[in-house]
A and B are shown apart, each in its own frame.
Chain A
Amino acid sequence: MARSALSQGFENQQQTGTQGFFQSIHIDWPLMTGILVLVASGLIVLYSASGEDWNIMTRQMIWLFIALTVMVLTAQIPPHHLEFWAPWVFGIGLMFLVMVLLFGDVGKGAQRWLNLGLFKFQPSEMMKFAVPMMVAWYMASRPLPPSLKRIFIALLIILIPVGLIAKQPDLGTSILVGSAGLFVLLFTGISWFFVGGFLVLLAAIAPVIWFFYMHDYQRQRVLTFLHPENDPLGSGYHIIQSKIAIGSGGLYGKGWLNGTQSQLDFLPERSTDFIFAVFAEEFGLVGVIGLLAIYLYIIFRGLVIAVQAQSSFGRLLAGSLVLTFMVYIIVNIGMVSGLLPVVGVPLPLVSYGGTSLVTLMVAFGILMSIHTHRKLLTS
């Protein structure tokens, strides 16, 4: 299935007339199909995970509508406009981040929100696309691969917002923002030797981060990840219950709305960060393979868009956004299944919550913009 859709995408660029309408409103239909299938599956799981709560369902659908609208609007912006505005978006985002640290609202022990009167706003979210835009802008302005000095400056561009977000503290978002920036660097063609060296450096400074920059609750999460059974009713509870949910699902699952772990409240955060466990419990390994196939399809469609992009900026940005989307998936499923420590990363387009939904749709909007404005540039 993924294959035929992919090839359809290839055909798209030759047949100018057939899908002219979607071209004119700048929607990439193959990508859109994947997103809609994923979002629909997400709603089905959420219905079960929320305990058939129509209140939550309605709110999620409103958010979906808003997010899809934002995506379509974003797709209308030509990539060179995005490139032009990149430093501005980054600058404003950085300013918001500083403001959050100074006067942000505190929730759950962390300072993440900026109260703008009318609505609350989480500036770290916009950095998920603002940082790769900025790095791509900076890198695309000179021939690639970049010089060592430029790599160093790019790292600074990444590290400053990541540090500010980590200070809130929000480990999940800082990982996503950081990797979004670094993926841009990876696509610029920096030498593998440099990539390896960077990973070694990261391993070396990890203990420093552990002792000087991590909050107690973050350290606790890592410790819990390593030994969840030490505190089965305390912080290890999430991981243990989530593994029970997934494991007891088996090959075919317990059936929709029949997951005992989730329906009987044993699974915490089951509508948000741990919704994958509900999915795995009710639909089993077969369902999981299906879900991962949809994700894989979206990622590969994204990579095709990146390859076909015509500007350096578009390529770098598209590639980075696609891989960041993958990081969401790996980190979320990894933590829910006990492979990675618990960090607050939602399952993209499935977890309940509007903020991440809008951010992700902006990213997909950018991808569509890069792909659909391509024709106009060549013709």
Chain B
Amino acid sequence: MANTQEKLKDHLRETRIFSSRVIVAGVGVVILILILLLRMSYLQIASHEHFTTLSQNNRVSIVPVPPTRGLIFDRNGEVLAQNLPSFSLELVPEKIDDVDATIEDIKEIIKVSDNDIAQFNKAQKRKRAFQSLPLRFRLNEEEVARFSVRQHQFPGVEIKARLMREYPHGSLAVHALGYVGRINEAELKVLDVADYNGTTHIGKTGVERYYEELLHGDVGYRKIESNARGRVLRVLEEERPKPGHNIFLNLDINVQKTAEEALQGLRGAVVAIDVKTGGVVALASMPGFDPNPFVNGIDSRSYRMLANSQDRPLFNRAIKGRYPPGSTMKPFVGLAGLEYDEVHGGSEVSCIGWYQLKNDEHKYRDWKKTGHGFVTLHEAIQESCDVYYYDLSLRLGIDRIYEFNKHFGFGAVSGIDILGETSGLLPSREWKRAAKHEAWYPGETLITGIGQGFNVMSPIQLAVGTATLANYGLHLGPKLVYATQESGKGTLEYLPLNILGIVPIVKKENWDYMVSSMKSVVHSLRGTARGIGKGVKYTIAGKTGTAQVFGIAQEEEYDQENLEDHLRDHALFIAYAPIEDPELAVAVIVENGESGGSVAAPIARVVMDAYILGKKRG
């Protein structure tokens, strides 16, 4: 049939066409497979290293392990700052879809304050999204249990056990110890980011800040393998962190406690120094505050209360307070008079209650209106006669007063191991010319000699000056810390004595004379601090001071009652004991305490009792 024949012809043609198409297809297949192979070679050979790195980064991550902070002990080994395990609730923002909503949900299980959220948000801005950030610290056991039950509802939220700084003595010695707090933005800029990787807290004030580097230790690392969900599968490598050094203070917590209790309800400061070493045995500034809430960020209301309080509890009076020394300056000026040979033990001055310069109408008054009569230097110290000192100051002149007192550390920072202390002010001709562009007037010499005028000192400076006097001129720098200890090692590393200078002695008798005069302040019937001499089991050399407060700030004018309170004189007292073998030098200042002898001196007495008698008992 024609039809079949046609089909047969077609069949041959079709086969031919089909076969050629199959060849084309075969070539096409080979080309496409070759393209795939080329792509594979590019990925697996040419870019192999690149992808190997990415694959490593995928699975291996380096996690910092923060070091344990060093402990702080007092001189008897009592713990002042420690690390306690504490549970905190931490979030990894990267793993949470909606952080705000999650926090809202957490709020229903665990109390989270607005302050916690604010702190968290602040931290979130500067940390990377995969880092774990604390939302709440110090969860109690009930909270831990309540959250753990619902853990599965909160991916990316975890309860972590951390070591938290704790100050077992609360507010005691807060101005010496200071405290740690969460690292803030400004600190982040200056500190070594690598070393603080993983560390959340840093020393903010006091010893905690000054010895931050030692206390912090060195960060460790853990190389971990994790899966896509961030679950840690195993630790590949570990470099353990090096814990911070332990620190031992000269501070005696019992003496400190005595000092703070004695200052209870007052505004003031006590600094007690170990005469032989310069070690700071007590450093009290009252009122104080509890540092523990500061560790995890104090809430703003409590902080405002502390910051705005008229009693200024946050202010470290012991090193930052600037007080006119008043009559506590007299032993130093008197000693200058003796050493410069302007006066001697027998020189007498007639005190009629006031003093006048030649060609000057102004009467420089004595605190005792009726005057002291004829007084020697000994009596001028014992009874604190101002007229004698007006006369002496004039003889010495401001230059020699300045020169001599400088040796005791006045007018310069003491170098105590806390930051932020004031240098006070020991006025001189040069200072006045530079600061006030004025010449020095003789009248200013007179009031400088009795510790008024431009003169200001901090309690630490007064204490160091007193210790230097007790040491017969050996000027030792005050130190809160006496030794450090590398963690895990038993041996203590002692800090060397810090000899700042030696007051040149002309005649040792002059110093003996001044010491005996100061002794009579306490131990004679006419001494201004005779009240504390009663029943004392050792000898005390002391000097009272009552400093006038001036320079009323304009804003204080409104509050009549407070204004009057703040106008009252400051009460001061410096002393050391025992005289024969000096152990402790003390400086006490009670703001607006009015009487050095009856307000400040008893505080020094209990502090010395606590130290000297306590030491004998111990």
Cα distance A307–B40 when bound, in Å?
31
B7 nearest CB across to chain A (Å): 7
A231 on the B face (CB < 8 A): no
* Pick from A188, A243, A306, A307: contact of B43, CB under 8 Å: A243
**Chain A residues whose C-beta falls within 8 Å of the C-beta of B6 in the assembled complex:** 143
Interface hits, B10-35 → A, CB 8 Å: 10-11, 13-15, 17-19, 21-22, 25-26, 29-30, 32-33, 35
B303 on the A face (CB < 8 A): no
B308 on the A face (CB < 8 A): no
Known interface pairs A247-B44, A264-B225, A337-B39. Does A307 touch B22 (Cβ–Cβ under 8 Å)? yes
Known interface pairs A243-B51, A246-B44, A251-B45. Does A265 touch B25 (Cβ–Cβ under 8 Å)? no
**Chain A residues whose C-beta falls within 8 Å of the C-beta of B17 in the assembled complex:** 144-145, 188-189
**Chain A residues whose C-beta falls within 8 Å of the C-beta of B26 in the assembled complex:** 300, 303
Known interface pairs A189-B21, A250-B48, A303-B22. Does A261 touch B55 (Cβ–Cβ under 8 Å)? yes
Which segment, of B227-235, B292-300, B454-462, B568-576, faces chain A? B227-235
Interface extent on B, as a size class? 35 or more
**Chain B residues whose C-beta falls within 8 Å of the C-beta of A121 in the assembled complex:** none
**Chain A residues whose C-beta falls within 8 Å of the C-beta of B52 in the assembled complex:** 247-248, 250
* CB-CB nearest in chain B for A334: B36
B22 touches A319 (CB 8 A): yes
A339 nearest CB across to chain B (Å): 6
A284 touches B10 (CB 8 A): no
**Chain B residues whose C-beta falls within 8 Å of the C-beta of A315 in the assembled complex:** 14-15, 18
Per-position binary interface string of chain A over residues 249-277, scored 1 when its CB falls under 8 Å from any chain B CB and 0 otherwise: 11100000000110011100000000000
Cα distance A218–B126 when bound, in Å?
37
B47 on the A face (CB < 8 A): yes
Cα distance A280–B58 when bound, in Å?
18
Cα distance A245–B36 when bound, in Å?
16
Known interface pairs A143-B6, A248-B54. Does A330 touch B36 (Cβ–Cβ under 8 Å)? yes
A292 on the B face (CB < 8 A): yes
* CB-CB nearest in chain B for A309: B18
B59 on the A face (CB < 8 A): yes
**Chain B residues whose C-beta falls within 8 Å of the C-beta of A260 in the assembled complex:** 55, 58-59
**Chain B residues whose C-beta falls within 8 Å of the C-beta of A329 in the assembled complex:** 33, 36
A260 nearest CB across to chain B (Å): 5
B41 on the A face (CB < 8 A): yes
* Pick from A246, A248, A299, A339: contact of B29, CB under 8 Å: A299
Cα distance A249–B50 when bound, in Å?
11
Cα distance A312–B45 when bound, in Å?
45
Interface hits, A277-326 → B, CB 8 Å: 280, 284-285, 288-289, 292, 295-296, 299-300, 303, 306-307, 312, 315-316, 319, 322-323, 326
Cα distance A337–B11 when bound, in Å?
43
Cα distance A315–B22 when bound, in Å?
10
The interface centre, meaning the residue of A244, A299, A337 with most chain B CB atoms within 10 A of its CB, is A244
* Pick from B21, B40, B54: contact of A285, CB under 8 Å: B40
A248 touches B40 (CB 8 A): no
B43 touches A186 (CB 8 A): no
B37 on the A face (CB < 8 A): yes
**Chain A residues whose C-beta falls within 8 Å of the C-beta of B45 in the assembled complex:** 250-251, 285
* Pick from A143, A243, A251, A292: contact of B33, CB under 8 Å: A292
* CB-CB nearest in chain A for B14: A144
**Chain B residues whose C-beta falls within 8 Å of the C-beta of A264 in the assembled complex:** 58-59, 225-228, 233
A326 touches B59 (CB 8 A): no
Interface hits, A325-347 → B, CB 8 Å: 326, 329-330, 333-334, 337, 339
Cα distance A172–B4 when bound, in Å?
42
A47 on the B face (CB < 8 A): no
* CB-CB nearest in chain A for B60: A260
Cα distance A309–B64 when bound, in Å?
69
Total residue contacts A-B, CB cutoff 8 A: 134
**Chain B residues whose C-beta falls within 8 Å of the C-beta of A247 in the assembled complex:** 43-44, 47-48, 50-52, 54-55
**Chain A residues whose C-beta falls within 8 Å of the C-beta of B14 in the assembled complex:** 143-144, 189, 312, 315
A138 on the B face (CB < 8 A): no
**Chain B residues whose C-beta falls within 8 Å of the C-beta of A296 in the assembled complex:** 29-30, 33
A151 nearest CB across to chain B (Å): 15
Cα distance A323–B25 when bound, in Å?
8
Cα distance A264–B59 when bound, in Å?
8
A246 touches B225 (CB 8 A): no
Cα distance A296–B30 when bound, in Å?
8
Cα distance A274–B58 when bound, in Å?
18
Interface hits, B541-566 → A, CB 8 Å: none
**Chain A residues whose C-beta falls within 8 Å of the C-beta of B41 in the assembled complex:** 285
Interface hits, A172-202 → B, CB 8 Å: 186-189
Per-position binary interface string of chain B over residues 196-237, scored 1 when its CB falls under 8 Å from any chain A CB and 0 otherwise: 000000000000000000000000000001111100010000
Cα distance A317–B62 when bound, in Å?
58
* CB-CB nearest in chain B for A315: B18
* Pick from A244, A292, A334: contact of B51, CB under 8 Å: A244
**Chain A residues whose C-beta falls within 8 Å of the C-beta of B55 in the assembled complex:** 244-245, 247-248, 260-261
A326 touches B32 (CB 8 A): yes
**Chain B residues whose C-beta falls within 8 Å of the C-beta of A186 in the assembled complex:** 21, 25
Cα distance A330–B29 when bound, in Å?
9
**Chain A residues whose C-beta falls within 8 Å of the C-beta of B29 in the assembled complex:** 296, 299-300, 303, 323, 326
**Chain B residues whose C-beta falls within 8 Å of the C-beta of A289 in the assembled complex:** 37
**Chain B residues whose C-beta falls within 8 Å of the C-beta of A312 in the assembled complex:** 11, 14
Cα distance A334–B32 when bound, in Å?
10
**Chain B residues whose C-beta falls within 8 Å of the C-beta of A266 in the assembled complex:** 58-59, 227-228
Known interface pairs A260-B59, A265-B227, A296-B33. Does A248 touch B25 (Cβ–Cβ under 8 Å)? no
Known interface pairs A186-B21, A249-B44, A250-B45. Does A295 touch B33 (Cβ–Cβ under 8 Å)? yes
**Chain A residues whose C-beta falls within 8 Å of the C-beta of B22 in the assembled complex:** 187, 303, 306-307, 319
A337 touches B43 (CB 8 A): yes
B412 nearest CB across to chain A (Å): 59
**Chain B residues whose C-beta falls within 8 Å of the C-beta of A284 in the assembled complex:** 44
Known interface pairs A250-B45, A312-B14. Does A319 touch B21 (Cβ–Cβ under 8 Å)? yes
Cα distance A120–B581 when bound, in Å?
102
* CB-CB nearest in chain B for A245: B55
* CB-CB nearest in chain B for A300: B26
The interface centre, meaning the residue of A248, A260, A322 with most chain B CB atoms within 10 A of its CB, is A248
Cα distance A143–B5 when bound, in Å?
12
Cα distance A241–B227 when bound, in Å?
13
B19 touches A285 (CB 8 A): no
* CB-CB nearest in chain B for A326: B29
B394 nearest CB across to chain A (Å): 83
Cα distance A193–B94 when bound, in Å?
55
Cα distance A241–B15 when bound, in Å?
47
Cα distance A144–B36 when bound, in Å?
34
Cα distance A322–B22 when bound, in Å?
11
Cα distance A319–B52 when bound, in Å?
41
Interface hits, A85-134 → B, CB 8 Å: none
* Pick from A288, A307, A326: contact of B18, CB under 8 Å: A307
* CB-CB nearest in chain B for A289: B37
* Pick from A143, A248, A251: contact of B10, CB under 8 Å: A143
* CB-CB nearest in chain B for A337: B39
Cα distance A300–B22 when bound, in Å?
10
Cα distance A244–B11 when bound, in Å?
52
B18 nearest CB across to chain A (Å): 5
Cα distance A294–B41 when bound, in Å?
18
Cα distance A217–B13 when bound, in Å?
47
**Chain A residues whose C-beta falls within 8 Å of the C-beta of B59 in the assembled complex:** 260, 264, 266
Cα distance A323–B24 when bound, in Å?
12
12 A–B contacts, CB within 8 A, in A order:
A143-B6, A143-B10, A187-B21, A244-B58, A264-B233, A280-B43, A285-B45, A299-B29, A319-B22, A326-B32, A333-B36, A337-B39
Excluding A288-B44, A337-B39, A337-B40, 17 further A-B contacts by CB distance (< 8 Å) are: A144-B14, A188-B17, A189-B18, A189-B21, A243-B43, A246-B43, A247-B43, A249-B44, A250-B48, A250-B52, A261-B58, A266-B59, A266-B228, A280-B44, A292-B36, A296-B30, A300-B26
Query: Top 3 closest A-B pairs, CB basis?
Result: A247-B51, A189-B17, A248-B55
